[in-house]
Homo-oligomer: A and B are copies of this chain.
Amino acid sequence: MAVTKRTPLPVAEAVNKILNHTRLWGIEKISINECDNRILAEDLTATHDVPPFNRSPYDGFAIRSEDTKHASLDHPITLNVVETIGAGQVAEHEVKSGMAVRIMTGAKIPEGADAVIMLELVKERVADNKNQIIIKRSVKKDENISFQGEDTQEGTLLVKAGTKITPGIVAILATFGYHRISVYKQPVVGILSTGTELLDVNEELQPGKIRNSNAYMCAAQVRAMGAKIKLYQHREDNFDSLYKNIKEALQETDVLITTGGVSVGDYDFLPEIYKKLGAEVLFNKVAMRPGSVTTVAVYEDKWLFGLSGNPSACFVGAELFVRPVILKGMSVLKPHCKVTKALLSKDFPKPNPFTRFVRAILSEDIDGNVVTPAGLDKSSSVSSLIEANCLIVLPGGTRGWETGSEVGVITWHGEGSEWPWDHPLFSKSSAIKTVEKQR
């Protein structure tokens, strides 16, 4: 097979090409009991005021404030307690002059009452077979009343479509009676590893072979992004059977990720398979390390991601390119990894002809974020993925970095970002300046 000349695309341009092709995954209704981390496909509005009625924030007595106008230590006043209501109960009596209703936290303020006096501020007694309270201070109108709508008014927009459902949002769903919820469907992402060297995880090692780790890792990444996984049996490097496997897998998936076979070696058949399929290749080389051979193609309404067979390159490819396809398809406002900055805790002497993504451990110390490259920076390294919780992004065209340099970092944890690639620390000019400043 001829070695084809490929033009490397800057990362931001590659991602942009992808964004131009994303489509929505559709909507489904699910139960509140199964909506954790799903993405809302409808705006949530308050279907009633909160509180829905005037209520008592304390245990106490609902009274008419004017009855207490002249109450004092020297001139206590006495009210007759006509009934007791707990939360969820509604008073039978209207509170008239001289009357009080014993009321518990959360209960509805009875008709006629315009204030609540707390339990500990009254003296209770029984006189003439009547329950009475003695009050030695005046109580202001509206005192200790939580008013209808003071937290939230009916019709208020509370949560926008495209938001991930957190426990706090589950509370909103329950409060306002959303027991079935419109959420975006989860796309079906197929994962098919290629490579004659691959064994399955339950197979014994054989000479020249390694176990397939990419498929399982990538599946875990993509499940964390909120998609469903269809894991295919890994396949040998054989053009005809691979073509058939991929064509079949495309029938039952929205996105098909392959790992391996995407470079320019004798057994790298993916480029030819894209051609035979008639898929539109958006790019087949990215100005990045690892994963420069990452290829993305579209075929009818399906996506084809040709990730590198190297575990670290595969990991980076999924976070950079697969993530926005899945999340933009659910209208998520921040479909990309989040950017932050940190001080480099170790020298990183390698030159970076392309943008380099270094697996690293981001932590916080007294002075802020610190980032440490995780293990070996070889694209074949598996052990460096163990503790890595971020990727240091070193701009292409830089020569190496010293301890204490400020670097940009992307993480796949948390809320994501709208567009990370404009960050000033990701450009060469700011990078060089920063390094000089440190010297």
Contacts and interface: CB of A to CB of B under 8 A. Distances in A.
Interface string A377-406: 010111101111100000000000000000
Interface string A76-104: 00000000101111100000000000101
A265 B59 contact: yes
Contacts of A146: 378, 380
A213 B175 contact: yes
A211 interface: yes
A323 to B, nearest CB: 12
Nearest to A376: B151
Interface string A47-63: 01011110001010000
Number of copies: 2
Contact of A208 (B89, B172, B382): B89
Contact of A315 (B167, B202, B213, B311): B167
A9 interface: no
B170 A88 contact: no
Contact of A264 (B51, B59, B176, B381): B59
A108 B266 contact: no
Interface in A1-55: 3, 32-33, 36, 48, 50-53
Contact of A170 (B151, B220, B376): B220
A223 interface: yes
A430 B156 CA distance: 40
Contacts of A224: 36, 167
A195 interface: yes
B36 A213 contact: no
A380 B59 CA distance: 14
B378 A151 contact: yes
Given A3-B119, A167-B220, A179 B202 contact: yes
A382 B50 contact: yes
Closest 10 CB pairs of A and B: A88-B197, A88-B196, A168-B385, A171-B217, A167-B220, A87-B197, A174-B213, A108-B208, A86-B267, A174-B216
25 contacts: A32-B201, A33-B216, A36-B224, A53-B207, A57-B378, A57-B380, A59-B263, A86-B265, A88-B197, A88-B237, A102-B266, A105-B265, A106-B197, A106-B380, A108-B208, A146-B380, A151-B378, A159-B386, A169-B386, A170-B219, A171-B217, A171-B382, A174-B213, A174-B215, A175-B213
Given A59-B263, A90-B207, A151-B381, 19 more contacts: A32-B216, A33-B216, A53-B208, A88-B195, A88-B196, A88-B198, A104-B265, A104-B267, A105-B309, A106-B197, A106-B210, A106-B309, A167-B218, A167-B315, A168-B315, A171-B311, A172-B382, A174-B215, A176-B211
